[in-house]
Amino acid sequence: MDMLWNGWGDPAKAAPLPDSVTGLLRDLLGVKPRSTPAPGLADLRPPAVTVRPAALKALAEAVGGEEHVRTDAESRIRHTRGKSTPDLLRIRAGDVAGTPQAVVLPAGHDEVLAVLRACAAHGLAVVPFGGGTSVVGGLAPHRGMFVALDLRRMNGLLDLDPVSRTAVLQPGLRAPEAERRLNERGYTLGHFPQSFEWATIGGFAAARSSGQASAGYGRFDEMVLALTLATPEGTLDTGRAPRSAAGPDLRQLILGSEGAFGVITSVTVRIRPLPETRVYEGWRFGSFQEGTDALRRLAQDGPRPTVLRLSDETETLIGLAQPDAIGTGPEQGGAGCLAITGYEGTAEDTAHRRARAADVLTACGGTLIGAEPGERWAHGRYSAPYLRDALLDVGAFAETLETAAFWSRIPELYTAVRTALTDTLTQAGTPPLVMCHISHVYENGASLYFTVVSAQGEDPVAHWTPAKHAANEAVLAAGGTISHHHGVGTDHRDWYVREAGPLGVSALRAVKRRLDPDGLLNPGVLLPTD
C-alpha cells in the first residue's frame, strides 16, 4: 500500500476534527476554511519526462526490466518531496515542481550499484526513497533531473543470529513488517518512532531515527552494528564486531548521512527478546520545570523506564499526548504537566523498575493519575500525523520541530524557541499555539519537541518560513542541536553547516567527493552543492 499522496498514512485512518475543536481554532486562532477546494490526484500534471530514452533503457537493464522503471504521472507524484507541512501544502496547492523523472525499483545491492553507474553515465541525480516520511526536505534535491530510487523491493529479513542477538535487514523493509518477522522468532527491535507505520529500516539509519521507547531500547543508531553502502565508486562495508578500536568508526559516517554519501543496502541491528509485559501510566507535575527535574533524576540515577515523556502545560491542557482523543477525552484539561511512563520487559524487572521509579517521581512532586492516560497514549502513539492532516483540512497550519541540549541548557532552549515562534507568528498576524514535550532522555540531556498551530496566512509556506528560521536561530543561540531525530535535509542544512563549522563541513565534502565524485546522490541535502 502507498501512503496518501497529499497527506499522511492510510486514507482509511483519516478522521475529521470534532466540531468543538474546529470552533476553538476559529475563535482563538482565527483559522478560516480554505476558499477553494484542493485538486485531486488526477488533476495534477507533473512536468514532462525529458530524460533520454537511452537513459531509461540503461535504468531498466540495471533493475531487470522496464516494469521496474516507472514514468507514469501517479508514481512520480507519489515520490515528490516528503511529508513536512510545507511539502503537503505545496502538493495540496497543485505544485508538482521537483517531481522525479522516473521511479526506479532495484531488487538488491548489485542492482543499486548498476543504477548508480547508469545515472553517472547519463548525468542523472539519485534520491534514495524508503517510506517517504521525511519532514525536513530530505527528498527535495537541488537538481532538476533526478530519479527516485525506491527500495521497496529490498524488503527482506536476511539473517537472524539468536546467539549474538542480531538481525540483518534490507533497507526497504517497513518497520511494522520488520517487527512482525522478528516477533515470529521471539524478538523485537524496540524501535517505535511516530513514523513507525510507514518508515523503513534504511530510512531509520539514514536519518538517525529515535523511537518513542528510546529510554529503554536506545536510539536506532545505537542499535546498528553493521551497514553496507552502495556508492558510485563501489561498496563500503562497515562493522565486523559490536565495538572496535580499529580506527574511526565508519558506521557513524553513514548513519545520518541522508543518502548524500551512498545508498544503504543492508543494516545489521541488535535485537531483544519480546517483553513479557508492557505497562504504561500517567503522572502529573505542577510545572514543566518540576517534571523536567524528575525526568533528569530518572535518566541520571535510574531506574530508567522504557518510555519516558513529559508534556508542558499547554500540550497537557490541549491533550496532545493523546492526539486521537483531542476534544473527546474526559481526562484532558486541568493544570500542570502530564508525564507518561512505560515499562517493558520481564514481569519481575518491570515491577521492580516501576516501583522504584514511582518512589523517585513521587519524591520529585509527581502524582500518579493511573493507567488510563498511559494506555491512551500507547493507543494513539502514531496518530499525531493524522491530526496534522485534519488541521490542514480545516485551514489551520500545524507543524513540528525538535532539538536537543544538555540538561543545564534545557530551560533556556525551551524559552528561546517558544518565544521565537510566538513572536514571529504573532507579528505576522497569526498568533500561534505552541506546545512542547520531552520524549527522549539521556544521562546528560534531553530532546525538546515543539508543535505549532496557527492560522495559515495568505501564502502558508511563505508565512511559516520566517518563523522556522527564527526558531532555528534560537536553537543555535541557546546551545541546542539543529535536529535530534528529524534530520537535516534541506530545511536545516544551512544551520547544520554553522553547527558543524567550516572545517567539519570541509571534511564531509571531502568524503562526498571520494564516494560521489559527480555529486549525484541527493544533491543539496545535508550539504550545500558546490
At 334 the pLDDT is: 62
Cell of 162: 539468536
In the β-sheet with 445-455, what is the strand arrangement from edge to edge?
367-370, 277-285, 337-345, 307-311, 433-438, 445-455, 396-406
Which residue type sits at 254? Answer: I
d(CA 500, CA 485): 16
Phi-psi region of 322 (alpha: psi -120 to 50; beta: other; left: phi over 0): beta
Residue with cell 543508531: 221
pTM of the model: 0.96
Q: Which residues of the chain have pLDDT under 50?
A: 330-331, 333
Phi and psi dihedrals of 168, rounded to 5?
-105, 120
At 263 the pLDDT is: 98
d(CA 530, CA 524): 9
Contacts 24+ apart (CB under 8 A), 220-225: 220/191, 221/252, 221/255, 221/256, 223/189, 223/190, 223/191, 223/269, 223/270, 224/251, 224/255, 224/267, 224/268, 224/269, 225/166, 225/251, 225/268, 225/269, 225/270
Q: Which CATH number fits domain 157-273: 3.30.465.10, 3.20.20.70, 3.40.50.1820, 2.20.25.90?
A: 3.30.465.10
At 15 the pLDDT is: 85
At 331 the pLDDT is: 47
At 38 the pLDDT is: 85
Taking each continuous run of H as one helix and of E as one strand, the counts in the chain are: 18, 18
Determine contact, residues 450/421, Cβ cutoff 8 Å.
yes
Same fold across 36-150 and 277-379 = no
For domain 277-379, give the CATH number: 3.30.70.3450
Helix (H) or strand (E) holding 469: helix 460-477
The 3-state DSSP class for residue 309 equals strand
d(CA 481, CA 459): 29
For domain 36-150, give the CATH number: 3.30.43.10
pLDDT in tens, 361-376: 999 999 999 999 999 9
Question: HSE (CB half, 13 Å, CA atoms) of 339?
Answer: 31
Determine contact, residues 77/96, Cβ cutoff 8 Å.
yes
Q: Which residues contact 20 (CB under 8 A, 6 or more apart)?
A: 327
For domain 384-477, give the CATH number: 3.30.300.330
Question: Which residue, 232, 211, 289, is CA-closest to 484?
Answer: 211
The 3-state DSSP class for residue 72 equals coil
CA angle 194, 200, 202 (to 5 degrees): 125
Residue ranges with strand state E in 31-110: 69-70, 102-104
Domain residue ranges of the chain, discontinuous segments joined by +: 36-150, 157-273, 277-379, 384-477
